Chain A
């Protein structure tokens, strides 16, 4: 490199209570460069971004900006030196107009809405966006919101912008618009860090791509070197077999769930057959449509199609319909969607059981504690303190508690969404064993995951959903790690394997 890099990362380490997630990252970002960051789930991408934006602080190593060391302790400090990220839930003031959002913080003493709108229109025009500056932020589409956020960062003179799966919620033409904008930023000399699982996008857009694996940089490729087979090979870690576990197959002949023509706004009609004792994996790029299945089957969104459970047709409009029908969800964001952080472990796991634990409506404390202890024993939850608030437990043990909620309820179908994100390494194997045990008992499991290792070790069958369509459906034995990755990255769907 003739020019000095804008941001340089040197020997960056990060560990979370002893588990090393980043093991010495060295990389750099230049001005006017679009730099892709690739890697499997858990390779350390998100940790790296969070350190770059000062959400976390590194355990060791340093970040140099124009050759000067930067030690930020809050996102605000990172923003002040020009480092910013666009997350999926763009931060906008919903009741304010596009112009007011774009120019928030620099209006001058008197507010003149017409003048603000004029100024915003100029900025938007310069960037090449056609959003009405007078429109309320809450009336924008997902794509427009994202672009408004980008425009805001650009206008505030951010020098490095991190985009995390920016096309996950966008349609084809919307993505094109975003790419135009990103290229424009590149011309203006900004450094862009682009994180995506969609290799086609990366190849079109990025100048360089750095591949992370197990918290280390494997290699940095130039645009011309980016090649599906090579990237796949670099992303996959063949050495680590520490979590090797396999599903011996508990599938029974009885059908547990039959879905015909399930479709949503983002998912083309598809069928699902799920047998008792079977573990069915569903994977694909984030935002590609796999999330829709979890939403539809739990009454969290509108869908069309026919759902039969054990041969009986059911209608699922709300989560309680889903429970009634025998479906339990173990959601990805357990802190937000599954647990009550200030209630005790026993109270959390007893919640779905209260009707069984109650004596004429009265729930004795003893009963919930006893139930809590049962769950603790069954799932080897640690520490074994049923009376302790949920928020004091580690990620892995919280996940076990979420599973524990349904343990005695004996649902027919369990939907696990990314069951091991944020789970400490030691607990992952235990969670897998619990899932296999459930399958052995005859429960059916849908595992929605982006971790291939997880899918390959647990599933009997795997469905890949890409761009809202089933691109591949096959028995586990027909997949290798590479073919699964290739399917997810968007390899030709014409080689659909019939089952």
Chain B
């Protein structure tokens, strides 16, 4: 998976499989060990429920213009 993080619109962690289903991201036992602590699982539910904010529209046109200019004259 080459476009993992942002491509899921900040929802990557929300899509994490439940504990016990390989949700440690391939980092070995340490992260899984953390997940086995019930109170940490409860804590995680708090931040995973935090709402992502939309970025502002301002600046978008400027970025695209800069990208076009760069592509034309690299």
User: Are A and B physically bound partners?
Assistant: no
Chain B residues proximal to chain A, CB less than 8 Å: none
Chain A residues proximal to chain B, CB less than 8 Å: none
